[in-house]
Structure 1
Amino acid sequence: MATTRNPYNNQGYLPNGAAAHPTGPIPGATPLLPNQGRVIQTGPIRVLCIADVRGNLRSLNELAKTARADYIIHTGDFGFYDETSLERIAEKTLKHVAQYSPLISEAVKKGIASGGPGSVKARYSPAELPLSELPLLISGDLKLDVPVYTVWGACEDVRVLEKFRSKEYKVNNLFIIDEAQSMLLEIGGVKLRLLGLGGAVVMHKLFDNGEGRTTIAGGQGTMWTTLLQIGELVDTANRVYDPTETRVFVTHASPAREGILNQLSVTLKADFSISAGLHFRYGSSYNEFSVNPTLDHYRGKLAASKASFNDVWETVKGEVEPAIQQNDAQQSLLKNALGVVDKMPSTAAGGNPFGGAAANQPAALGQVDESAFKNMWNFNLADAAFGWLVLEIQDGRIGTEMRAQGFNFSHRGAKQPAAAVPPAVPAPSTSPHPSTAPPAAQNPPAAPQRQASGVKPAQAPVPQVKPATPQPVPTPSPAPKETEKQAASGTNGASNAPETAPSPAPKASAEGIIGLFVMNAQSDEHARDLFTDEDKAKIVKIERWGQSNKVVQFKTNEDRDGAMDRLPDDVKNRTQEDRSKPLVKIFNPPPRNQFNARGGAGNWGSSRGGARDGGNAPSGYRSAGGASDSEGAGRRGGRGGARGGRGGSDRGRGSRRGGVKGEGASPAPDS
C-alpha cells in the first residue's frame, strides 16, 4: 500500500485501519522543523489601553503583567524627553510637567510649587529633574516586554519625536502611530487598524509649526496638532482602507470635547476612538447618541467647532495659501483637511438626520453621519496611575474591561457615628434671634444640608465641640427624622451638623474670618506649603471648607493681602484645563441667602449660568465661543484631586437632594 508522505507525522502513527509498520516510523518521514509549526491560540488576546505614563516607562511592563496584556495602546504624554530636553523646555511647562511627574521627588515638587528666587532649572540640578526614562529605553538598559503603540501628547519634546521619525532613535517594541504611519494588528480573528493623531488641538495653532523641522509641530516642551497633519492622516487612512478591518482612532485630545476630531473620526470611518487628555479618575465609554439628547444638540457641538475654526482660517488664509502655492503635496493635504471641516454642519437646526439633504435645504445645513452618531464608540481613559481599559479580542468579538482606582469615600464611613448624635435638633427653637441664631435657624427647611456643608469649616477646633458630643440624652420625637436628613444630605467629606448646631459661634466666626480660600488643597500642609516662609509664620490657623478646600486665616488684612501678593501667578489664576492645581482667592463668607441664590431642582441649569449670571443666560448648548461647558473660573472638573472630574456629578447630587425637598443646591464655599 502506497503511503502519502506526511511531514507532520514523525512518530509512526497511522490512519485508522492501516497496518502497522514493523519498524515504527513511515519510510521517508522527516522531522518537524521549527518554522513548519503552527501557533495554537488559546484564550483571548488582551490589548491594554492606557494614558499619561509621563515618563514612568517601567510602569508599562508592570501594567502589562497586572492586566495580562499582549499589546499596549498609549494615548499620549508618553514621556518623549531625552537628556537634552531639559534645556529646551519652557519654565511654565517645566513646572507643569514636574508637578505631575511620577519620577520627581515630593520634596522637589513642593519646592517648585512654593516658588523661589530664580528659575526652576537654576534652583535644581538636572539629576533632581528627571523628565523621563526614555534614555534607558534608547540605551537598552530598559526593555519593553510587550509591543507598545503610542501617539505623542501635549507635553513632549518635538526634537525627540523627529529623531524617532528619522530612525536616529530606535526602541524595540515601541511603535509611534501618527499621521504618516498606521499599524495593523491581526489578533483574535480581528484586523485592528490603528490610526493616530498626537498633540493638543488648539485652534489658533493649527497653522503654526513651532520649532518643528518636519511636519511635526511643537516647541519648548509642548506639542500640538496642525491642519496639515490632519490632512495627511486623511490621506493615510484612504490609502490603507480595507473594509474588512476594524478601525481605531487613537488621539491625545478627546473627540468628545473637540468637534473637529469628532468629525475627523467619522471621515476616517473609525469604529472606535480611544483618547485621553481629560485626566479623570474614571474612564468613560460612550457613543454620541448616548450623551446628546437630540441630533440638533450634536450638530450644535460640531457647528460651534466649525465656527471657531473658520474664525482662525479667515484670519490666516491670506498668508497660508500663498506660502504653499508652489508645494503641490501640501496643497493636497490642506484640501483634505478643509474637506473635513466643510462636511461639518454650519447650524444646529434642520438637516436630514440620516445623512442626505433635506427638502428645500442645502446639504451643509446640519448634515451629519447618523450611523456614526449611533455606532462609533468612544473611550476616554483615566491617567495610567488611576485606571485602564482592556480590549479583549477573541473569535472576532471585541469585549472591554475597564478598571479605575476611583475616588476615596472611606471618610464617609468614618463620619457615620457623628451623624447619629441628636442634640442639634432643638437648636432652631432655642436661638430665635436672627443675629445670634446659627445659619440653620435662618432657613429651617434647609438646615441639615446648610449645616453639613457650610458651617463645619468655620467651626472652632474639636475641644469646643466635645461638650455637645457625649449627649445621647432623650430627644423630641422628630429628632430621628432630622438626624436622618442630616446624614443623607451631608456633602462628601463634610462633618455632619449635630456637632455644630447648638452654638451660634460659627456664624459670627465665618463672617469675621480674615483669610484666603484655597481650592483643591489635599491637606493642611499642602495649603501651607503654597506660601513663603515669611507668610507661613503669620498663619493663625487652617480650616477645612468643603471637601477639598481650605481657609488659611491671618490676623490682619495686611498679613492676608501681603501673602496673596507673594503667591505665584499660576496659583492665583487658572490658565488651563487642569483643575487639580490649587487655586487661591480672597475668602468671602457665604451670603446669608445662598440657598435661594443657587436654585434647586427646578432650576437645574443654574450651574452653567442661570442664577449666577443673573438668570439671563440662554439654555442649551453654548460653546460657539470655542469654550467647553466645563471651562470657566467658577466650575469644577478636571484632573484628579479630591474632586477630580466629579464636579458635574456633585452639582447634580446637590440639586437632587436640595431641589426635590424644596432646598437649594450645595452652598457657596464648596464651589
Structure 2
Amino acid sequence: MASPRPHNFAPQGYPLPNGAVAAGPVPGAAPLLPNNGRIIQNGATRVLCIADVRGNLKSLNELAKQARADHIIHTGDFGFYDDTSLDRIADKTLKHVAQYSPLLPENVKRTIAQIPPQQSIKQRFSPDQLPLSELPMLLDKRLTLDVPVYTVWGACEDVRVLEKFRSGEYKVDKLHIIDEANSRLLDVGGVKLRLLGLGGAVVMHKLFDNGEGKTTIAGGQGTMWTTLLQMGELLDTANRVYDPSETRIFVTHASPAREGMLNQLSVTLKSDFSISAGLHFRYGSSYNEFSVNPTLDHYRGKLAASKASFTDVWETVRNEVDSAIASNEAQKTLLENALGVVQKMPSVANGGNPFGGPVAAGNAAGQVDESAFKNMWNFNLADAAFGYLILDIEGGRIATEMRAQGFNFAHRSGKAPVQPGVAAGIPPAASPVTGGRAPGAPPQFGQAQPTRPGAAAPQQPVKTQPSPAPQSTSPQDQPSVPSAEKTAPAEANGSAQAEKPSESPVPKTEKKQSNALFVSNAENEQAVRDLFPEEDKAKLVKVEKWGKYNNHVATFSTVEEAKAALDRQPPEHKKVAPPGQPRKPNLKFFEDRGSRNAGTWQGSNRGNPSQRGYQSGGASDSEGGRGRGGYGRGRGRGDRGRGGRGRGGFNKGPGPSTDSPAPSTSTPSGDKPAPTES
C-alpha cells in the first residue's frame, strides 16, 4: 500500500462515544432507566417507514398525515446538509445528489447532467440555485416536525453536520438519530419496539477508515460510510439494552440482502425485523432468508463470499490497525466484537453454522438455527417519492401495509391509456407536470409523480370536468383528441416516457426564452467579448466554453438584455456562412436541449422485440455501486460486483471521494435484476 494516510483511531480531543479517553463516556449505551429514551403510547399505533427523502423534509409531515402515522422510521439519505455543506461536497457527489434531488427544477438537473467533468458545478451555479436540503429550515424552526422521526444517515450526507448533532450544537425537536451508540424504545400497541441503527454505505475497503470524521463517524466530501468499530459498538449497545420481551428492529441504509456482513450482524443482534433502503426500486420488498434461498448451502455461500472479501482487506491492514489502537483498550474491545461477527460466518458454502452455533459431530454441514433463518423478516423500501411501508401495531400484533406508485403497464395495450373517469366521458383537467403538487411536495400515491432517469412516467391525477372527448397530450404537443389512426403505442416503463409521457394530460407550456446567446466560431472568451459593443459588453454576466470546439455561451442578466445584444449584431453574425467561404462568428439564442438518454424496459418479447430486459441508458443510483462495486482496484470478485480486494482503494489523499454513490459505468448493470421472460 503506497504511503497510506494514518488511520483515525488514535485518541483525539473530541467527545468520542466509543473508545473515548479521559472524561468521555464508556463505549456503548448505558442501561435504560424505566422511562429514559422510551416513548409509551396506548392503543393502535401506525409507524411509517420511508427512505431517501433527499432533503425534502416538508414531505415528512405530508406523508405522516397521508398515512395517518404516529411515528416515522427513516432509513438514510435524509438530507443532513446545512448551509456550509456545499463548499465541502465533491463535484462527482454533487452531480449525483442534484440528479435525484426533489428540490431542484428539472431544467437545472438537465443542465448539471450536461456539464463536462472538467467544469465545476459550483462555478456554474450560485449556492441559492443548489439547495441540498431543507435541514436549515428545521434548525431555525421555520419548519417543525409533526410526529417523531427516527433516522439513520445514508450514503449521501455531510459528516460535519452529523458531528454537530452528536455534540449537541444542532438540535431539532422530534428528530432522533439512531446509531451505534443510541437506540430508542417505542412502547406502542402492546409491543416494546427496540430500534437499533447503523448508517452509511458498507464498503469493504473503507471499514478501517474514518475519512474526514473527527469523532467515530466516517465520511468526507459529502458521502458517509460504515466502519468496523461502529459495528462493534452497535453490538455493545445492543447487549447493554437487551430485554427478551422487546421486539428488535435493525434499521440500516445498506440492504442486508446484498451485504453478507450486515446479514450476519442482524442475526447477531437478535433482530426480528430489518428495514433498509439502498436498492431504489419502485416497489418495496418483503422477504426472509428461507424464502429467497433454495438451500442452506446457498445462504452459506453468500455469507462465505462476504467473509472472503472482508478477510482480503483485514489481512492487508491488520498490522497497521493493531498498532493504531494498541493503547486504547476500549477500541480493542469494540474491534474484537466486530471481528467476532465475521469469525462466525462460514468460510465455505457446504459447511459450518451461519448463525455461529456448534457443528454437530459427524455432520460437516453443521446444525443451523432455523428459527432465525425462517423468522427474521426483512423489508427493503422504495424511495419516499415512490412508496412506503406502514407497521400497524395493536394488541401485540404488528401488521403491515405497503404502498407503491409502481410501474406503468398501459403501453402493453397499444392504445393511449385511459385515465380514471374518462370511460364515463369525464377527462382529466389540465394540471402541472407534478400533478397539482408544489415542487418538492410528497407523493399522493395513485397520482402523478415526477420521474427520474430510467423511470416510467406516471399517470396524472383526475379532476372531474365535463368534456365531449378524452384528451391525451404531452409537454411537446398541443392538446388534441386522439384518433385510432393517429394514436401511437405508449412507450414501455423507463423508456422515453420519462421525457415525453404520451398519456400525460398536461397541456403544452410556453417555452421560456433564454437569457444566454450561443456563439460559434469564436477562438476564445476574449474574442467573444470583442463581438459585442461596449453597452452590451458591460451587461455580460459570464462567458463559458461549450463543448470541444470554438463554441461559447454568453450569459446576460435578463432575456431583454440578451435580445437587445443579438439585435445589435451585424447581419453576417446572425446567419451561417455559405460553404466554401471563411467561417465567421455566428450568434443565436442558447437552447439547452436536455438529456434524452433514458433507459428502456421491455418485458418478454412484447413491445420492441429487438430489445429485451432492462436497457439502461445511464446507471441509476442502484447501479452506481452504493457501497458495492467499482471502488477498489486489484483482484476484484467480479461475480459479485465487488471492488477493493487486496490493496486497492484505501486512503489516497484529499482527492474526490472514490466512494461517491454517483452513477458509475464500472458497476455491472446486472446489479438491477431484469424481469424474467414469460
User: TM-score band, normalised by the shorter chain?
Assistant: 0.5 to 0.7
* 1:170 and 2:215 matched: no
Residue identity matched to 1:648: A
Tell which structure's C-alpha radius of gyration is larger. Answer: 1
Q: Which residue of 2 aligns with 1:226?
A: 227
The answer for the alignment partner of 2:111 in structure 1 is 111
**Pair 1:340-2:341 in alignment:** yes
Q: Structure 2: which 5+ residue stretches go unaligned?
A: 1-39, 418-483, 502-545, 552-589, 604-615, 627-637, 645-663
CA distance in structure 2 between the partners assigned to 1:309 and 1:254 by the alignment: 17
Equivalent residues in 2 for 1:282-297, closer than 5 Å: 282-297=283-298
Are 2:191 and 2:397, in contact at CA under 8 Å, matched by a contact in 1?
yes
Cα drift, residue 358 of structure 1: 2.9
Q: How many angstroms apart in 2 are the aligned matches of 1:360 and 1:40? A: 51
Unaligned runs of 5+ in 1: 1-38, 418-468, 471-489, 495-518, 550-570, 582-620, 639-644, 657-671
Aligned identity (percent) is: 69
Specify the alignment match of 2:568 in structure 1: none
CA displacement at 1:105 relative to structure 2: 1.4
Whole-Å separation in 2 of the counterparts to 1:402 and 1:252: 18
Within 1, Cα distance between the matches of 2:620 and 2:405? Answer: 28
Query: For each residue in 1:87-107, what CA deviation from the matched residue of structure 2 results, as whole angstroms up to 9, or x when unmatched?
Result: 000000000000000011111
* Structure 1 residues 400 and 626: CA distance shift in structure 2, 3 A: farther
Shift of 1:334: 0.1
CA contact (8 A) 2:50 2:383 kept: yes
When residues 198 and 414 of structure 1 are mapped into structure 2, their CA distance, relative to the original with a 3 A threshold, is same
* CA distance 1:67–1:575, shift in 2 (3 Å): closer
AA matched with 1:318: N
TM-score normalised by length of structure 1: 0.61
CA distance, structure 1, for counterparts of residue 90 and residue 205 of structure 2: 20
Match of 1:123 in 2: 124
Question: Structure 1's 544 and 90: CA in aligned 2 closer, same or farther, altered over 3 A?
Answer: closer
CA deviations over 1:76-134 (Å, ceiling 9, x no partner): 00000000000000000000000000011111111100115730000000000000000
Kept after mapping to 2: 8 A contact 1:190/1:245: yes
Alignment of 1:649-668 (within 5 A): 649=675, 652-653=676-677, 656=678
1:578 correspondence with 2:623 = yes
Q: Which residue of 1 aligns with 2:492?
A: 493
Residues matched between the structures, number:
445
1:511 maps to none
User: For the residues of structure 1 that align with 2:199 and 2:323, how far apart are their CA atoms?
Assistant: 27
* CA distance, structure 2, for counterparts of residue 544 and residue 335 of structure 1: 47
1:349 aligned partner, one-letter code: N
Superposed displacement of residue 318, structure 1: 1.0
Q: Go from structure 1 to structure 2 and tell me whether the alpha carbon gap of 1:68 and 1:416 turns closer, same or farther (over 3 Å shift).
A: closer
Q: Name the CA distance, whole Å, in 2 between partners of 1:56 and 1:544.
A: 24
Residue pairs, 1:461-472, within 5 angstroms: none
Aligned partners of 2:300 and 2:354 also within 8 Å: no
Q: Is the 8 A contact 1:300 1:347 kept in 2?
A: yes
1:648 aligns with 2:674: yes
The within-5 A match list for 1:400-549 is 400-415=400-415, 493=492, 522=497, 547=601
Q: Is 1:345–1:367's contact at 8 Å kept on the other side of the alignment?
A: no
Query: What's the counterpart of residue 321 of structure 1?
Result: 322
| CA drift at 1:622 | 5.0
For 2:229 and 2:277, locate their aligned partners in 1 and report how far apart those are by CA, in whole Å.
Answer: 22
1:359 matched residue in structure 2: 361
In structure 1, the residue matched to 2:183 is 182
What SS class does the counterpart of residue 81 from structure 2 fall into? coil
* Pair 307,62 (structure 1): closer, same or farther in 2 beyond 3 Å: same
Deviation of 1:545 (Å): 9.3
Aligned counterparts of 1:246 and 1:577: Cα–Cα separation in 2: 30
1:139-158 equivalences in 2 (<5 Å): 139-158=140-159
Q: 1:88 to 1:366 in 2, by over 3 A?
A: farther
Q: 1:533, CA displacement in angstroms?
A: 10
Higher relative contact order (CA 8 A, sep 6+): 2
Match of 2:179, SS?
A: coil
Q: Which residue of 1 aligns with 2:525?
A: none
Contact 1:197 1:251 in 2 (8 A): yes
Q: Indicate the SS of the match to 1:66.
A: helix
- Per-residue CA deviation, residues 19-76 of structure 1 (Å, 9 max, x unaligned), is xxxxxxxxxxxxxxxxxxxx9955x200000000000000000000000000000000
C-alpha distance in 2 between matches for 1:104 and 1:372? 43
Residue 393 of structure 1: aligned partner: 393
Residue type of the alignment partner of 1:578:
E
| Matching of residue 215 in structure 1 with residue 216 in structure 2 | yes
CA contact (8 A) 2:304 2:349 kept: yes
User: SS at the partner of 2:330?
Assistant: helix
Cα gap change, 1:406 to 1:545, in 2 (>3 Å):
closer
> Partner of 2:381 in structure 1?
381
Using the alignment, how far apart are the partners of 1:258 and 1:85 within structure 2?
A: 29
Contact 1:210 1:218 in 2 (8 A): yes
Q: Distance in 2 between matches of 1:65 and 1:577?
A: 29
Tell me: CA distance 1:414–1:543, structure 2 relative to 1, closer, same or farther (3 Å).
farther
Structural mapping, 1:564-643, within 5 Å: 577-578=622-623, 623=640, 636=669
1:251-266 matched pairs, under 5 angstroms: 251-266=252-267
Distance 2:363 2:79 in 1: 49
One-letter amino acid matched to 2:674: G
Change (3 A) 1:291 1:66: same
Matched, 1:92 2:122: no
Q: Which residue does 1:271 correspond to in 2?
A: 272
Aligned-partner SS, 1:52: coil
- Tell me, yes or no, if structure 1 residue 65 matches structure 2 residue 65: yes
For 2:180, the aligned partner's letter is: E
Q: Which amino acid aligns with 1:121?
A: K
Give the AA of the match of 1:229: Q
Displacement of 1:371 after TM fit? 1.8
CA pair 220-521 structure 1, distance change in 2 beyond 3 A: farther
For the Cα contact (< 8 Å) 2:50–2:389, is it kept in 1?
yes
Which residue of structure 2 aligns with residue 506 of structure 1?
none
Note if contact 2:145-2:173 (Cα within 8 Å) is conserved in structure 1. yes
User: Structure 1's 408 and 128: CA in aligned 2 closer, same or farther, altered over 3 A?
Assistant: same
Task: Write the distance in 2 (CA, Å) between the matches of 1:340 and 1:198.
Answer: 18
Q: Which amino acid aligns with 2:295?
A: T
What is the Cα-based RMSD across aligned positions, in Å?
A: 3.8
Equivalent position of 1:616 in the other structure? none
- Cα–Cα, structure 1 residues 160 and 334, in superposed 2: closer, same or farther, change >3 Å? same
Whose helix fraction is larger, Structure 1's or Structure 2's?
1
On the 8 A contact 2:358/2:366 being kept in 1, the answer is: no
